[in-house]
Amino acid sequence: METTDAAFEPPIVPADTAARNARRQVRVRAPGKINVHFQVGPPRADGYHRVASSYLAVSRYEEVVVTARPGTAAQDITVSLAEASSLGAGALAGIPLDGSNLAVKAALLVAQLAPEATGVHLEITKHVPIAGGMGGGSADAAAVLVACDALWNTALSREELSRLGAQLGADVPFALMGGAAVGLGVGDELTAALAPTPLHWVLVPADFGLSTPVVYQRLDELREAAGTVVAEPEQVATEVLAALRTGDAAALAPWLHNDLQAAALDLAPGLAAVLDDGRRLGSLAQLVSGSGPTLAFLAADAGHAQELAAALQDSGHRAWAVEGPVHGAHILA
């Protein structure tokens, strides 16, 4: 499999004693993702599905500030949402601020390994759509893993952080890794893919979310109703990896694919009209990102992405021009 540039690995954290003692707050940024190519096998006995996915980290980020609370127990974790969050108040209202939040679970996992652990406060700035098929919650968790590792001086390796992340969800290890990758198994068996040249996209979020388990269930129902028999996917098409390697948007366009798209469109039929708008306005290709309902439109280059975003906005849609691949979870301050 391809190998990626080392720039996509989490940064090395200073280990000198003075830096450790001075560190009381860590700010980390982690990217959302899109699935450029996504194949889904039949349901397994455990209810999960084997997948073959081509992940791409894109420049729509979550930011988390983790602040130590000296004198409190490691289990004493509080959460708030930053005013700088760009998502609507209605969407933010649905985010749990208790122990069910993946970010809190991430902090607790690191605390179990950190002799210096104390209570912390997590301030999350949300920019990735919630329940939007872009792994926003997983990005939060990845950011907290990196931040708490730095804050408490646990000095965990990337592999150790990834193993912790896999306990929280299949998308967390990729939010740590960033860049481009092939995901097998349930999406957690990651192999980095070479993608040195950015590809440009326009994302159109929805005003609602879709539950990933519900989308998978609907896919199974649609396949059963149609009598469709599918094999377990073994690998992403080599044409996808070749297009990522060369950064050739035109070569990638015919290979954009998402097995979950039919289920997402069945649950949210209005998305089809937005896909048609993007096609009409000149996107090279278009698809539902992951389990949806965020839509991704492939552009020829940066200028085309800006033009396409403006045209979609003029048609009444929210639209963001982004690029990928970008770095995984990394410390800002």
pLDDT band, residue 9 (cuts 50/70/90)? low
Whole-prediction pTM: 0.89
Report the alpha-carbon distance of residue 193 to residue 195 in Å, rounded. 6
Return the sign of the alpha-carbon dihedral for residues 312, 219, 269, 134. negative
Marked catalytic residue, from 105, 126, 140, 171: 171
Please name which of 38, 65, 5, 3 lies closest in space to residue 333, comparing C-alpha atoms: 65
How do residues 287-304 score in pLDDT, each as one tens digit? 999 999 999 999 999 999
Pick the catalytic residue from 33, 105, 140, 277. 33
pLDDT of residue 2: 40
- Orientation of helix 136-151 relative to helix 158-166, angle to 10°: 130
Number of domains observed in the structure of the chain: 1
Q: Is 171 a catalytic residue?
A: yes
- Give per-residue pLDDT as tens, 145-201: 999 999 999 999 999 999 999 999 989 999 999 999 999 998 889 999 999 999 999
- Domain containing residue 108: 1-333
Q: What is the pLDDT of residues 115-127, one digit of tens each?
A: 989 999 999 999 9
Q: Which sign, positive or negative, has the C-alpha torsion 103, 104, 107, 108?
A: negative
β partners of residue 30: 62
Query: Rounded distance, CA 191 to CA 256, Å?
Result: 19
Per the annotation, the verdict on 105 as an active-site residue is no
Q: Which residue has the tokens 């028999």?
A: 229
Nearest to 173, CA basis, from 194, 187, 185 = 187
Tokens encoding 29:
């940024």
CATH at residue 322? 3.30.230.10
